[in-house]
Homo-oligomer: A and B are copies of this chain.
Amino acid sequence: MEKVKLFATWSSPFVKRIIWALKLKNIEHEIIYEDLANKSPELLKYNPIHKKVPVLVHNEIPICESLVILEYIDETWKDARPLLPKDPLDKANQRFWAKFSDDQVLPSFYGYIMKQGNEKEEAKETTLAHLKRVEQLVSEKKFLSGESVGFLDLAFGWLAENSRPLEVITGLKLFDEDTFPNLCAWRDKFLEVPAIKESWPDQETLIAKYQEINLSKGK
């Protein structure tokens, strides 16, 4: 009897990719929502190094780091809707771009929103350059992973999910249909996938969350 628990917060971009993977593969699971201001003893026990979500606990064994968890899920439930291809080169490409998402695009994107003055301008230029790379990448196929949603789409899902709420709250146009037509088309197709759609957060709630973050920063 498999027992799968996921330690989560409702808005973490790293958590959402795991929820989507579990849904795509029809893996029964329980989600435990953490209050990061008051972390549970279980979270601290299961992820003593980073003390962060997501943590997947499979039959009492914890696995941490969201991209590591995605690969674990794909290898453990390997017959149910594969997320990564079998070809080593395709795999390497998806791993490379997933790392690019987390190390480059995500920090510059949030920097663009949160920073001020010159730093904001710099983050904007970097973000646009990164988005151009992703635009080019998605132009070659239907989804980032290929003909159907896979590992790389889940890795970049945070971009699809957060772009509109962040545009509303910041008044910044993060990506538009003229400059990034393929990226916008990808976002819309991604949202149409049932497993994604049914766990899409209410956009008003996301907007309220970002407003709260901005207020707590004294702006």
A interface list, Cβ under 8 A from B: 49, 58, 61, 63-65, 68-69, 71-72, 75-76, 88-89, 91-92, 95-96, 99-100, 133
Contact = CB atoms under 8 A, between A and B. Distances in A.
A65 B58 CA distance: 29
9 contacts: A61-B89, A63-B96, A65-B95, A68-B96, A71-B95, A72-B88, A72-B91, A72-B92, A75-B91
Copies of the protein in its oligomer: 2
Nearest first, the 6 closest Cβ-Cβ pairs linking A and B are A75-B88, A72-B92, A68-B95, A76-B88, A63-B92, A68-B92
Given A61-B89, A88-B76, A92-B63, A99 B49 contact: no
Nearest to A94: B68
Given A72-B88, A72-B89, A89-B72, A64 B95 contact: no
